[in-house]
Structure 1
Amino acid sequence: METTDSKHQKTGSIKQSRSPFDLIVNQIWRKKSLTERWPQSSVSRFFKKSDNSTKTDCSTGRDGLEEVSLDSEANENKSTISAAVLPNFPSLEELDLSWNESIGGALNVLTSHFQHIPQLRVLELSSCALSALDISSLGESIQLLVNIEKIDLSWNCDLGGNLLLFTQKLQPSFTLKILKLVDCNLTAEDGIALGKTLSVITNLEILDLSMNKHVGCGLAGLFQELKCVPHLQVLKLCNCGLTQENIQDLGIALNHVPAMKKLVLSRNSIAGGFKESATHLLNVTELQVFDIHDCSLTEDDISALTQIIPLLKNLQVLNLAMNKNIGDAVRNLIARIRFLPKFKGLGVNNCNLFKESIVELADTLPNLTELETLDLSWNKCLSGNVGLLVQMLQSETRLRVVKLCSCNLTGQDLASLVSLSCAGFLSSLETLHLTYNDTVDDQSWVMFFKEIDGLKALSELDIGLMPLSHRECSPWLAVLLSCLPRLPSLLELGMHHWVISASQCELLDTFNHQHQRNIHFTY
């Protein structure tokens, strides 16, 4: 998902070389008479291998073409060309037309040929500038795709207020498992319409309505209808305008979706919502990921969750980030995470943690033997206290990602990390973010790069400064260069806002050339 929401930007001209799709077309031509053949030239230009791609845009299987992805830079009309192609591929299973805005207003040309692709399982039309007419056309033809399992209509803003044109045509015979409607400007009426549709798409496993901030008022009915989708495993409602009342309604609905594995409620102002509803989480015993970051949670919310979360034995990831009013209550929750045997990821960045919470985390860490991700960024209480965490880790960890951004770290904090790495306890670490710690002096960075060792798997390191900071990297650059061979997996080194001269940039490039490395230095 990160990032992934932004549109692809491509450059360069269309190459005239033969694409993998040409071979497929030629095979079809050999089996058809002259009167059955359609113009090859347009299709050849449209289905091609991208200059920047590592894989082809068309792939074949035993029964012919299984997947088609259309290049957004093609000059021909996407819908017209696609319509010409579809009748030739009755075994087509995946069709991805995403990020082609010229499709908007002409989708009916494509949907009129849906009867030729009855095996289609995946249809992706995200960011295609679909109009109300397109949505209506899709609704009228969708019943022809009896094997459809995934539909993605994300980032089509005109879907808002018009969702009923699509949902009212869905049939009970559908095998739809995945429905994504991210950032579609959905309204409360759309939420109501979708709720009524759940009784038809009973096989639904993944529903993503994120980034529709006006849909919240219409979700009460949808929550009531969750009883119709007992196989639902993923529900994403990030930034959907949820309220405290919505959380109470959702809590009751969780009784009907015991298979739920991932629940995302982030970026909704639901302060106080869990005070009375947290107990309903006990009905989703399979829950693995619980994301409630930036939800304005209160100490009462955290106190209620503290009683329930330790009982969710399958929970692997808990994201509480950006809840700045949870105070000291989170300390007790952190302490009880030790009872989760499969726990892998904790996000408490920007939570205004107190030192007592860090002490409690230090005491809990030895019990979190499966922990892979730890994000403590933007908590100033960590300054001078990293040693408290390190001293409790006396064996190799599974940590892959550690983020300590903007924590006012000191030289002693860096020394604690060095000690842990040299002991071999961070051998699995892949990502280490120390960004925005302008409080670390130059000599401490010299020590860090001179002594750091044991990070054989580290692929991403970020030591960038705050945007308005500008410091010379001269005091430690030479030591960094001598350190890089000890980081054999490093691919990304973030050095934003450090002042680096042209000659110093050349030294970095020379290192890559001489050591046959391809480290991306960002500054």
Structure 2
Amino acid sequence: MSRTGKKSSSDGETTPQAPLVNESIKGSKSRFPKAGSRKESIDPKTTDSQPQDKTPKTIFLDTAKTLASETELGSRMEENEWFLKKLGRKAINKRLDLNNCRLTTANVRETAALLPSLPDLEKLDISWNDVIGGNLHVLTQQMHRVSKLKILRLSSCRLTADDVRALGEALKVLPELEELNLSWNSKVGGNLPLILQTLQEGSKIQTLELVDCTLTSEDGVFVGQLLPRLQKLEVLDLSINRNISGSLNSIAHGLKSTPNLKVLKLHSCGLSQKSVKLLDAAFRYLCELRTLDLSCNKELGGGFEDTAGLATLEHLEGLDLRQCSLTADDVLSLTQVIPLLSSLQELDLSANKEMGSYSENLLSRLRFLPVLKSLIISNCALKCETFTALVSVIQTGHLVRLQKLDLSYNDGICEAGWTIFCQNLWLLKELTELDISLRPSTFRKCGQWFRHLLSAVTKLPKITEVGMKRWLLPVSQEEELQGFDQDHRSSIHFDHGGFQ
């Protein structure tokens, strides 16, 4: 053996020891033996016919390249950390959140350069950055570097038609994608197929949010045709797209093929009475639905007169029908349906003024909702009789889990109504928020019921907020409230209209 510890090929030649290479990397003089110092007893023919181990020079070069690559990677990581620190953000747990960071064009390029160093990235949120519009291609060209991405959020980025096309191509290299949010991008409207046509049967998409995207009727038809491919879809939000009402037949038909859907939001979509009928037929297939938002569709009034499908949503937890112009017949139908929704936790019927004269029976049926946590019946022209019905329910202990109660903008409630309500309020032990504010155009003096309200609040261990805007407190009641605040209950905020 030579001094370097090598053996001849016939004896099983070994490579130089690691310390030798390391010293060479540090710049020390090479101690590899010269070619002439090797044993010459090896037969050249035999040597040529057998695999040769790497020469010391090859080892040196490979190691040097590896270390240079590691050095380059380290440098790049430092640059990435500096870039994120500059924006006040960081990549944590495979997530990169640059939401509302006021990105510049240069920042977009820096973000694109960052992606190759995040091969395990699962969430990318660059929403609310206007500069993304017209520059998305800079990012999509690197999307293949983050093929494990599960969540992509691009809401309110002012996407252009070219961005939309680039995004459609990028989705081809994101097979693991589960959530896509393109909300508040008007250019998505009319171009939706260019983005989503690559989604095929077996897609992993669970959440699709397209709020206020100026979707066309044709886009709505496309959504209806797309839904059967999205068997894992759990959340669909098409809110604030008024033009899709004309294609609701297609959408409702597609919904029948989404058995795992848990959240359906069609807020302010221009839905009509006919729309309710179409959706009601689809509800029978949505056994897992938890949240249904049909709010701010003012032409829905009269559409709930026969909603047998709605009654089948036994797992429904949230129902939002605010500002839907509900008629007396709608209220009568809901009076029969709501008791069947025993899992309901949140109910919003606000801004339906026709309820006022017909809601007594409806509110009395709240006793069939044992887990109700939030009840909002603001601006419904409620009468004293309605309050009496609500108090029949409170007294019998059927709303013991109620946490939020909004009775605001019901200016027609008489003194007796407020009194009986406040006298029984203390029974709602889980209550955290109460709002009995008057509408902006109305100011009234508090009656003697205010004393009952203070008394009840002292018995509610979890309450933190009492809204009573535009109720005027005379001097005597002002003193009562000040005394209340001083009595270790200052953690409760009374939002009132001021003292008289």
Q: How does 1:415-494 map to 2 (within 5 A)?
A: 415-422=451-458, 424=459, 426-438=460-472, 440-451=473-484, 456=489, 458=491, 460-464=493-497
- What is residue 22 of structure 2 aligned with on the other side? none
| 2:217 counterpart of 1:188 | yes
Partner SS for 1:461: strand
- What is residue 519 of structure 1 aligned with on the other side? none
TM (normalized to structure 1)?
0.77
Does the 8 Å CA contact 2:103/2:131 hold for their aligned counterparts?
no
Partner SS for 1:211: coil
Partner SS for 1:386: helix
Q: How does 1:365-404 map to 2 (within 5 A)?
A: 365-366=394-395, 367-384=398-415, 385-393=417-425, 395=427, 397-404=429-436
Task: Give, in angstroms, the shift of residue 456 of structure 1.
Answer: 4.8
- What is residue 228 of structure 1 aligned with on the other side? 257
Q: Which amino acid aligns with 1:418?
A: L
Task: Give, in angstroms, the shift of residue 289 of structure 1.
Answer: 0.5
Partner SS for 1:259: coil
1:443-501 C-alpha deviation (Å, 9 max, x unpaired) = 32232222468885945432246xxxxxxx6x8xxxxxxxxxxxxxxxxxxxxxxxxxx
Distance 1:273 1:453, change over 3 A: farther
Q: How does 1:106-145 map to 2 (within 5 A)?
A: 106-145=135-174
Aligned length: 427
Partner SS for 1:260: coil
Distance 1:460 1:158, change over 3 A: farther
- What is residue 313 of structure 2 aligned with on the other side? 284
1:79-115 C-alpha deviation (Å, 9 max, x unpaired) = 3222211111110011011111111112122112211
Q: How does 1:270-349 map to 2 (within 5 A)?
A: 270-276=300-306, 278-349=307-378
Q: Which amino acid aligns with 2:221?
A: I
Task: Give, in angstroms, the shift of residue 162 of structure 1.
Answer: 1.3
- What is residue 446 of structure 2 aligned with on the other side? 410
Greater mean alpha carbon deviation, residues 324-333 or residues 409-418? 409-418
Partner SS for 1:325: helix
Task: Give, in angstroms, the shift of residue 74 of structure 1.
Answer: 4.0
Q: Which amino acid aligns with 1:32?
A: S
Partner SS for 2:229: coil
Structure 1: which 5+ residue stretches go unaligned?
1-28, 51-55, 466-472, 476-523
Distance 1:37 1:447, change over 3 A: closer
Q: Distance in 2 between matches of 1:381 and 1:434?
A: 15
Q: Which amino acid aligns with 1:389?
A: F
Task: Give, in angstroms, the shift of residue 260 of structure 1.
Answer: 0.4
Q: Distance in 2 between matches of 1:181 and 1:457?
A: 43
Match 2:227 to one of 198, 201, 213:
198
| 2:77 counterpart of 1:47 | no
1:319-353 C-alpha deviation (Å, 9 max, x unpaired) = 10000112321110000111111111111110001
- What is residue 362 of structure 1 aligned with on the other side? 391
Does the 8 Å CA contact 2:103/2:129 hold for their aligned counterparts?
no
Task: Give, in angstroms, the shift of residue 166 of structure 1.
Answer: 1.0
Does the 8 Å CA contact 1:42/1:81 hold for their aligned counterparts?
no
Distance 1:445 1:283, change over 3 A: same
Q: Percent of counterpart pairs with the same letter? A: 33
Partner SS for 1:179: strand
- What is residue 99 of structure 1 aligned with on the other side? 128
1:298-326 C-alpha deviation (Å, 9 max, x unpaired) = 01000001011011110111110000112
Task: Give, in angstroms, the shift of residue 31 of structure 1.
Answer: 7.9
Structure 2: which 5+ residue stretches go unaligned?
1-65
Does the 8 Å CA contact 1:183/1:211 hold for their aligned counterparts?
yes
Distance 1:142 1:345, change over 3 A: same
Q: Distance in 1 between matches of 2:203 and 2:168?
A: 13
Does the 8 Å CA contact 1:372/1:401 hold for their aligned counterparts?
yes
| Structure having the higher Rg | 2
Does the 8 Å CA contact 1:293/1:320 hold for their aligned counterparts?
yes
Give the alignment's Cα RMSD to 1 decimal: 2.4
Distance 1:294 1:31, change over 3 A: farther
Partner SS for 1:446: helix
Task: Give, in angstroms, the shift of residue 428 of structure 1.
Answer: 0.8
Q: Which amino acid aligns with 1:416?
A: H
Distance 1:30 1:194, change over 3 A: farther
Task: Give, in angstroms, the shift of residue 206 of structure 1.
Answer: 0.6
- What is residue 117 of structure 2 aligned with on the other side? 88
Partner SS for 2:372: coil
Task: Give, in angstroms, the shift of residue 256 of structure 1.
Answer: 0.8
Partner SS for 1:82: helix
Task: Give, in angstroms, the shift of residue 34 of structure 1.
Answer: 5.9
Partner SS for 1:199: helix
Q: Distance in 1 between matches of 2:75 and 2:278?
A: 55
Q: How does 1:152-231 map to 2 (within 5 A)?
A: 152-231=181-260
Q: Distance in 1 between matches of 2:488 and 2:379?
A: 27
